[in-house]
Amino acid sequence: KVIWSERKTERHKINDDWPGYSLDLFSYPAHYSGDLDCVIVPHGVIMDRTERLARNIMDDLGDHDIVVLCVLKGGYQFCADLVERIKALSRNSNHTIPMRVHFIRLRSYLNDQSTEDLHILGAEDLSFLAGKGIVGTGKTMETLLEHVKAFKPKMIKVAGLLVKRVQHSLASVPDYVGFEIPNRFVVGYALDYNEYFRDLNHICIISESGKKKYKV
């Protein structure tokens, strides 16, 4: 028996007063020196948590025919690692997940501010989703979910590596969550600030000087 409400409570919470890890403890591109405050989630921890999420998805959706909707660009690294771990589990399990991956792109940020102007690219015709299970990965999901529902998939589940604690937010919580983090602007692991920092393995908090340096 699958109880989705229990899955929604499973996440690693990072407190607001958590100072993060010192940058001196990790390797990161030298061209970002001075642009970051701290590492909030190291790459190794991301990998371990992603493997656990893959196992949860296998337990819940094993033997279903699913389509993974990867939200570009910020979600591509999480999606790639999650899919690889699901495939590895599927090869060594009695449950298998027939799986396809489709890529779409959402853009809603200017500098560090979310805007009302949201564009969806690559989602014009999703008729192949009819009757399938959907696992969406990425951010800014509310508008996308409404669009996807029009194609009548059998079910929709959302996997998100990060959920920010935003006071009075009415946004829905993904079914599979990696980390709950403070409401601060983070970069790395494919998350960007005006297209910079995607080449950073760890998830870090950008510094004020970094914001000024790369502001458009």
Element at 163 (helix H, strand E): strand 155-164
The whole-number pLDDT of residue 115 equals 46
Domains delineated in the chain: 12-214 (3.40.50.2020)
Q: Would residue 93 be called left, alpha or beta, if left means φ above 0 and alpha means ψ between -120 and 50 degrees?
A: beta
pLDDT tens column, 142-161: 777 777 788 788 888 889 89
Provide the pLDDT confidence category of residue 131 given band limits of 50, 70 and 90.
Answer: very low
Distance CA 7, CA 175 (A): 6
The whole-number pLDDT of residue 127 equals 52
Kindly give the residue spans of alpha helices, DSSP state H, lying in 19-155.
43-61, 76-91, 141-149
Calculate mean pLDDT across residues 28-46.
97
- Looking at residue 183, what DSSP letter applies? S
Assess contact for 154 and 131: CB atoms under 8 A: yes
Provide the pLDDT confidence category of residue 137 given band limits of 50, 70 and 90.
Answer: very low
More confident residue, 21 or 91: 21
Provide the pLDDT confidence category of residue 108 given band limits of 50, 70 and 90.
Answer: low
Rg (CA), the chain: 17
Report helix, strand or coil for 117.
strand
pLDDT tens column, 52-99: 999 999 888 877 788 888 887 788 899 999 999 999 988 887 777 888
